């Protein structure tokens, strides 16, 4: 290997040292080809040639062979599927495939240049969404009208609507006297009764009116209301009915807890 290539010092992002050491590391897979900047190697070699008084054709030829091999190695590493396809081609077919890819590359490069020129030329151009301000307004035509149908619709609007019934919203309260007489009749037949038992099957409004009837009888001194504990059954007895000591004791305990 010529000394200009062998002693070429490289300072890359992934490698720093002589060119021949880089080749050794690449062949041993110590460095991935995709990590090497091939353009930086070419620039370093050209700068090295510029420092010499005469052109070393042997070194240039050997460098071209090596850099071409590195480029092929990097391309195969980046595109493994295409490497398998190219390995099956004959030399003539491979040359045709290379020419086709170069032509496609030139087309893509030309398209990129054209797009860049279009972007630079139309950078300050803006467009608005919606119709142009001077666009003609479309003429709106009404469908054929039937006056008689309009008259029928107006007659339907002129009819006074029926009154809205609120009867279903009214609450009907039974008279308190009805439950007062009912409880008095019970106490004439029995000494005491359970309020919850007598209220079964009644609505909440009727139960509230019945409780008011109890308070009215208690106010008149006709009954005695007792309850062993909070939320326990309410017992009603006649005012002249003696209350047992156990009942008095439970009433006192409940009153004390409630206080």
What does 24-54 look like in DSSP terms, one character per residue? HHHHTTSS-GGGS-HHHHHHHHHHHHHTSSS
Neighbouring-strand partners of residue 3: none
Rounded to whole angstroms, the Cα distance separating 96 from 36 reads: 28
Contact present, 179 and 210 (Cβ < 8 Å) = yes
Name the domain count of the chain.
3
| Residues 218 and 235 reside in one and the same domain | yes
Q: Specify the length of the chain in residues.
A: 259
Residues 179 and 253 in one domain: yes
Are 250 and 196 in the same domain?
A: yes
Whether residue 143 is contained in a domain is answered as no
Position 138 in a domain: no
Q: How far apart are CA 174 and CA 159, in angstroms?
A: 40
Strands 235-238 and 192-194: antiparallel
Where residue 235 sits, what CATH number does that domain have?
1.10.10.580
Q: What is the token pair recorded at 93?
A: 């077919």
Q: Note whether 214 and 250 are same-domain residues.
A: yes
Residues 80 and 106 in one domain: no
List 238's β-bridge partners, or say none: 223
Both structure tokens of 57:
């054709």
Residue 137 lies inside a defined structural domain of this protein:
no
Residues of the chain where predicted confidence (pLDDT) is lower than 70: 1-4, 6, 79-91, 94-95, 97-98, 102, 126-136, 168-171, 241-259
Q: Quick one: pLDDT at residue 132?
A: 61
Task: Tell me which H or E stretch contains 184.
Answer: helix 176-189
Q: Are residues 104 and 68 in the same domain?
A: no
- Are 29 and 99 in the same domain? no
> Using DSSP, how many helices (H) and how many strands (E) does the chain show?
11, 5
Residue with tokens 């209350």: 243
Element (H, E) at 141: none
> If we measure between CA atoms, which residue out of 34, 42, 88 comes closest to residue 66?
42
In angstroms, rounded to a whole number, what is the distance separating the alpha carbons of residues 193 and 67?
114
Domain assignment present for residue 148? The answer is no
Same domain assignment for residues 36 and 25: yes
Q: Is residue 144 part of a domain?
A: no
Strand order in the sheet with 192-194: 192-194, 235-238, 223-226
Range of the domain at 209: 171-258
Whether 159 is in a domain gets the answer no
Task: Count other C-beta atoms under 10 Å from residue 209's C-beta.
Answer: 17
**83 & 94 share domain:** no
Domain membership of residue 54 (yes or no) is yes
On whether both 53 and 98 belong to a single domain, the answer is no
In a domain, 128, yes or no: no
Residue corresponding to tokens 């009215």: 216
Give the separation between CA 138 and CA 142, rounded to whole angstroms: 13
Q: 96 with 83, same domain?
A: no
Model pLDDT, residue 50: 81
Residues 54 and 106 in one domain: no
């Amino acid at each position: 290997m010529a000394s200009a290539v062998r002693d070429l010092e490289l300072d890359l992002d992934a490698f720093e040292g002589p060119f021949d050491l880089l080749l050794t590391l690449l062949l041993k897979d110590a460095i991935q080809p995709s990590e090497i900047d091939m353009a930086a190697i070419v620039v370093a070699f050209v700068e090295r040639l510029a420092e010499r008084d005469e052109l070393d054709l042997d070194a240039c030829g050997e460098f071209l062979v090596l850099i071409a091999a590195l480029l092929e190695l990097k391309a195969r590493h980046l595109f493994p599927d295409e490497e398998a396809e190219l390995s099956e081609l004959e030399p003539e077919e491979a040359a045709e495939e290379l020419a086709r890819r170069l032509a496609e590359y030139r087309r893509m490069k030309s398209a990129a240049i054209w797009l860049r020129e279009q972007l630079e030329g139309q950078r300050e151009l803006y467009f608005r969404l919606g119709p142009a301000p001077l666009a003609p307004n479309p003429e709106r035509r009404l469908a054929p009208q039937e006056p008689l149908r309009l008259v029928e619709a107006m007659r339907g609007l002129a009819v006074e609507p029926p009154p809205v019934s609120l009867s279903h919203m009214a609450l009907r309260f039974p008279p308190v006297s009805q439950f007062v007489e009912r409880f008095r009749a019970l106490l004439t037949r029995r000494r005491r009764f359970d309020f919850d038992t007598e209220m079964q099957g009644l609505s909440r409004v009727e139960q509230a009116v019945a409780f008011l009837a109890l308070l009215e009888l208690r106010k008149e001194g006709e009954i005695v209301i007792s309850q062993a504990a909070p939320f326990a059954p309410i017992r009603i007895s006649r005012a002249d009915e003696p209350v047992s000591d156990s009942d008095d004791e439970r009433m006192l305990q409940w009153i004390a807890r409630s206080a």
